[in-house]
A and B are shown apart, each in its own frame.
Chain A
């Protein structure tokens, strides 16, 4: 049995991999990009490429709240939402039902793609980090309104981080007139994983008692061997063994692209599901609390002349019990599997008949996750005025609010440079903290391009 400090240790390690998202969705409909196969394996780059280190870097944060939800301008200074000058309803009504925050990091360390066997083959080595947190609105409602009810029941409190490296081998080809299919096969090596979930959080505040009852469970794993020192009846410190990988996994991406030129000239439909897979961690700690409620009922049969002393004594008992509740039980260190959070994309693009380089497009994407899942619909205007340059502007409505995106992609012979954002910060304070929500994203990369265009 070990204390929660190990969880804290692992959490710190996980959050140290702070970083961001997947390949930019703003580039989904740009034909001159070289990493769209990460979003849809059926998509083929126009030429062959090699990526070294900075081929595709993507960093971003997501949140459905921002600075303005918690900090309010007042005269010539600022105040917090806890100030009496901030209207309760105004504060509460602006908050979403669940407060969501997340960070993503995605970097391609090595990659290349080329045509072979009648199709397009890609290979890449990349790292991924996804961290998310979900809090119910009720927490902030209690903080602002105070205790108004006798009973509170909150749930769906989750913090999760998944960090892994992937070696991806992809292949796509046209299987029918205008119909292309593709698949990415991924070998995954887990780096760190932590999931902390409060299944339930019930609280009672009455004249007779205070009661807080919850159930917490957490899982944590590292890429290497970990074990506790054997100290007889008790467990010793957590130790790391050899650094050889002990977390392996496999995933697959599936995609299809259909050019409808025979039916609706200029219309292209696409669909994909990525990250269907799991990672098996050989050394995973599963931890949960003992579920005992913490109850405060005051003192029983106290002497009025020593009420203060009796209260202190009773408080010590409750705190001792609370300490026991918080002393989590470490079930064991044993192998366990964690699923990747799959994402689905459904896209449609229509090239304007009056100006072929101009297209309008729509992309629906959905991430499957009980706590950190999201939905998004994004509309695009794409333009490729030059053979070596193209751009996209888009606007999306998602779980994280309304956002703007853009992408500039330069792809002349020999080199590819791109920069863009799926979540454009529209307003920040002088300290560059997003005011309306914490959505921001930047992606950029450089690839060596060679060969002929398809």
Chain B
């Protein structure tokens, strides 16, 4: 090989490495500006919303109030007052007024029933709510609004001025008619009987002198608006779209009050060897004795029970001797406090005393009353926490002669062991076959107040709530983007619901004229009611991560400026109670692009 030729040829190969031009990458051809950006899994966190509390809906509805526990309720209250001069009279409680009929029980033919006084009583439920209905929110159907099962309805009646009758007690006998929508009334009080679906009959002995009023406790299970609706009930809405019943319902009562008179009120005319009287005494506890070696801190002993002055009675009696028969003798011991040990017995001592106050020996009656429980036939009874009435009974009857007064200097009770304080009252009943005349010649003032608390709860509730919120895209933010196509959105959020009602949410995209954009579909969501007890936003497990898919049917994605929410709230079978602490919390809201963003970037 010619070495020089070889060298020259090798040198020539150097120029093989010359560059070449590829016209495929000629930038003068123009560069397409369509791009896909951001991918399809980019979540954009938006944060959380204020908790939507029920209270924000009902706070301006003055008819709805809250209890101490925050439960929503409707409170009814009012008062009545009237003063009349009456001499034996009847008071009747009519449909719109309370008329109290006072009947003095007697077998004296001269006795007559008095006249009637009508007392206008605002015992009506006349709450009507009128709301501004200009806001574009809807409220549809309310089927029934019910009480929770066995919710207490308490009615306090106070008959002020009745003590002016100067009698001790009265038999109340009247009927209260509740509005039609009160259904399912129950009473656990023997003196209060439900006579119709929404009426109660009260027969009760009433202490006129103390005149502490009368409390009637009822239990109700249903508050049926549907029934009321049939009677022309109208439904109105407030500015928040919450509807409430506008109606006029009436609560009425009718009946009579029979006055029972004590000795001080007896008429001096006529002869009544036997008389009826109702003695009502309260005794304090003075000392405690130890029985069976059980030590107590202090002894409770009733030193003085009562003294009955028989002078007035004697004047009406042909025979100064009085036979006292404990026909239905009992001593009622009301133990207010906790007693952890059995009560052995109670002793009652009756003493006949002469004019000088000396005790007449043969009038002394010492009677030991055995304890007989109304529910337990035992000679001893252990009393526990609750207030308990014990009947102390004796089968014996006895007579006392030649006395001026009867005293019960001591009523001794023995307990083992005894707590620090025991309050009890003793009601010895003396009976006769006749009742005396009672002259009632006093003005009567009657004041009655009522206060009813009705919890607000619902059954088979369904209503709709509709609203729109602005949701516009700032065009200036996308000025570099000429066209966005094939985009979908996913709106994710965590919802916590403490309202015992489920809901569904239907969302619609609106254009700038608030017309629905048909090309955009938005998936609905459903949410279950909260069935947990004490369901609060802090501890509820009724939390769910939901996703709303917003998709465009067409290639382009029309911009929308508003989102319309249709909110359906429902409760099906269970009766639900509402509380101001209930609400809905929406948190961890995020928007995710569900498809690639194809954009054309302006040059």
Q: Give the B-binding residues of A (Cβ under 8 A).
A: 67-68, 71, 73-74, 76-80, 82-84, 145-148, 205-210, 296-305, 307-308, 310-311, 314, 355, 357-358, 381, 383-386, 391, 393, 404, 406, 408, 424-431, 433, 435
User: Hey, which chain B residues are within 8 Å of A298, CB to CB?
Assistant: 45-48, 589-590
A355 to B598, CA, bound (A): 64
The answer, among A84, A146, A406, A433, for a CB contact under 8 Å with B42, is: A146
**CB pair B22 A82 closer than 8 Å:** no
CB distance from B189 to the nearest CB of A (A): 49
**CB pair B25 A68 closer than 8 Å:** yes
**CB pair B28 A428 closer than 8 Å:** no
**CB pair A77 B45 closer than 8 Å:** no
**CB pair B47 A431 closer than 8 Å:** no
CB distance from B32 to the nearest CB of A (A): 4
User: Hey, which chain B residues are within 8 Å of A83, CB to CB?
Assistant: 32, 34-36
The answer, among B19, B25, B35, B36, for a CB contact under 8 Å with A73, is: B25
* Contacts known (A301-B48, A307-B49, A391-B11); A84 close to B29, Cβ less than 8 A: no
**CB pair B588 A208 closer than 8 Å:** yes
Known: A78-B25, A80-B35, A207-B45. 15 other contacts (CB 8 A): A78-B27, A78-B30, A82-B35, A147-B41, A206-B45, A298-B45, A304-B49, A305-B469, A307-B49, A308-B471, A355-B3, A424-B19, A427-B22, A429-B22, A429-B24
**CB pair B596 A299 closer than 8 Å:** no
* Contacts known (A299-B48, A307-B469, A424-B17); A205 close to B43, Cβ less than 8 A: yes
**CB pair A430 B45 closer than 8 Å:** no
The verdict on B555 contacting chain A, using a C-beta distance below 8 Å, is no
**CB pair B34 A84 closer than 8 Å:** yes
User: Hey, which chain B residues are within 8 Å of A425, CB to CB?
Assistant: 19
* Contacts known (A298-B46, A427-B20); A383 close to B492, Cβ less than 8 A: no
The answer, among A76, A79, A145, A207, for a CB contact under 8 Å with B31, is: A79
User: Hey, which chain B residues are within 8 Å of A433, CB to CB?
Assistant: 25, 27
CB distance from B427 to the nearest CB of A (A): 63
**CB pair B17 A426 closer than 8 Å:** yes
User: Hey, which chain B residues are within 8 Å of A314, CB to CB?
Assistant: 47
The verdict on B513 contacting chain A, using a C-beta distance below 8 Å, is no
**CB pair B25 A385 closer than 8 Å:** no
Shortest beta-carbon contacts, A-B, top 10: A146-B39, A298-B47, A385-B7, A207-B590, A429-B25, A82-B35, A299-B47, A79-B32, A147-B42, A298-B46
CB distance from A296 to the nearest CB of B (A): 7
Interface size counted on chain B using CB atoms at 8 A: 53
**CB pair A406 B36 closer than 8 Å:** no
User: Hey, which chain B residues are within 8 Å of A76, CB to CB?
Assistant: 29
**CB pair A429 B26 closer than 8 Å:** yes
The verdict on B433 contacting chain A, using a C-beta distance below 8 Å, is no
The verdict on B294 contacting chain A, using a C-beta distance below 8 Å, is no
A408 to B15, CA, bound (A): 11
**CB pair A146 B50 closer than 8 Å:** no
B187-231 Cβ-contact flags toward A at 8 Å (1 or 0): 000000000000000000000000000000000000000000000
CB distance from A366 to the nearest CB of B (A): 24
A408 to B19, CA, bound (A): 17
B341-371 Cβ-contact flags toward A at 8 Å (1 or 0): 0000000000000000000000000000000
* Contacts known (A146-B38, A297-B45, A302-B49); A393 close to B14, Cβ less than 8 A: yes
User: Hey, which chain A residues are within 8 Å of B49, CB to CB?
Assistant: 301-304, 307
User: Hey, which chain A residues are within 8 Å of B8, CB to CB?
Assistant: 385
A433 to B11, CA, bound (A): 27
Residue ID in chain A nearest B42 by CB atoms = A147
The answer, among A296, A383, A428, for a CB contact under 8 Å with B10, is: A383
The verdict on B13 contacting chain A, using a C-beta distance below 8 Å, is yes
B223-257 Cβ-contact flags toward A at 8 Å (1 or 0): 00000000000000000000000000000000000
A385 to B47, CA, bound (A): 78
Q: Give the A-binding residues of B (Cβ under 8 A).
A: 3-4, 6-8, 10-11, 13-14, 17, 19-32, 34-51, 469-472, 492, 588-590, 592, 596, 598
**CB pair B17 A71 closer than 8 Å:** no
What would 11 A/B residue contacts be, using CB atoms closer than 8 Å?
A67-B25, A82-B36, A147-B39, A303-B49, A311-B46, A384-B7, A385-B11, A428-B21, A429-B27, A430-B27, A430-B28
User: Hey, which chain A residues are within 8 Å of B44, CB to CB?
Assistant: 210
A280 to B137, CA, bound (A): 76
A404 to B598, CA, bound (A): 41
A6 to B159, CA, bound (A): 92
User: Hey, which chain A residues are within 8 Å of B6, CB to CB?
Assistant: 355, 358, 385
A68 to B26, CA, bound (A): 11
User: Hey, which chain A residues are within 8 Å of B492, CB to CB?
Assistant: 207
User: Hey, which chain B residues are within 8 Å of A300, CB to CB?
Assistant: 47-48
A208 to B598, CA, bound (A): 26
CB distance from B15 to the nearest CB of A (A): 8
Residue ID in chain A nearest B26 by CB atoms = A430
* Contacts known (A80-B35, A208-B588, A358-B6); A428 close to B22, Cβ less than 8 A: yes
A272 to B11, CA, bound (A): 28
A68 to B23, CA, bound (A): 12
**CB pair B472 A146 closer than 8 Å:** no
User: Hey, which chain B residues are within 8 Å of A358, CB to CB?
Assistant: 6-7, 10
A308 to B471, CA, bound (A): 7
A314 to B46, CA, bound (A): 10
User: Hey, which chain B residues are within 8 Å of A404, CB to CB?
Assistant: 17
Instruction: Output the residue of B21, B45, B470 with the most chain A CB within 10 A.
Output: B45
User: Hey, which chain A residues are within 8 Å of B22, CB to CB?
Assistant: 427-429, 435
The answer, among B17, B47, B50, B589, for a CB contact under 8 Å with A406, is: B17
The answer, among A205, A299, A384, A431, for a CB contact under 8 Å with B26, is: A431
**CB pair B14 A406 closer than 8 Å:** yes
A209 to B592, CA, bound (A): 12
User: Hey, which chain A residues are within 8 Å of B25, CB to CB?
Assistant: 67-68, 71, 73, 78, 429-430, 433, 435
A71 to B27, CA, bound (A): 9
* Contacts known (A355-B6, A430-B21); A79 close to B27, Cβ less than 8 A: no
CB distance from A327 to the nearest CB of B (A): 25
CB distance from B134 to the nearest CB of A (A): 17
CB distance from A138 to the nearest CB of B (A): 14
**CB pair B50 A303 closer than 8 Å:** yes
A209 to B588, CA, bound (A): 9
**CB pair A301 B50 closer than 8 Å:** yes
User: Hey, which chain A residues are within 8 Å of B26, CB to CB?
Assistant: 78, 429-431
User: Hey, which chain A residues are within 8 Å of B32, CB to CB?
Assistant: 74, 77-80, 83
Residue ID in chain B nearest A78 by CB atoms = B31
A426 to B18, CA, bound (A): 7
**CB pair A391 B10 closer than 8 Å:** yes
* Contacts known (A298-B589, A430-B26, A433-B25); A357 close to B19, Cβ less than 8 A: no
A385 to B45, CA, bound (A): 73
CB distance from A259 to the nearest CB of B (A): 22
A71 to B29, CA, bound (A): 12
A68 to B22, CA, bound (A): 11
* Contacts known (A78-B29, A358-B6); A207 close to B588, Cβ less than 8 A: yes
**CB pair A82 B37 closer than 8 Å:** yes
User: Hey, which chain B residues are within 8 Å of A383, CB to CB?
Assistant: 7, 10-11
A214 to B48, CA, bound (A): 27
**CB pair B10 A393 closer than 8 Å:** yes
Residue ID in chain A nearest B36 by CB atoms = A84
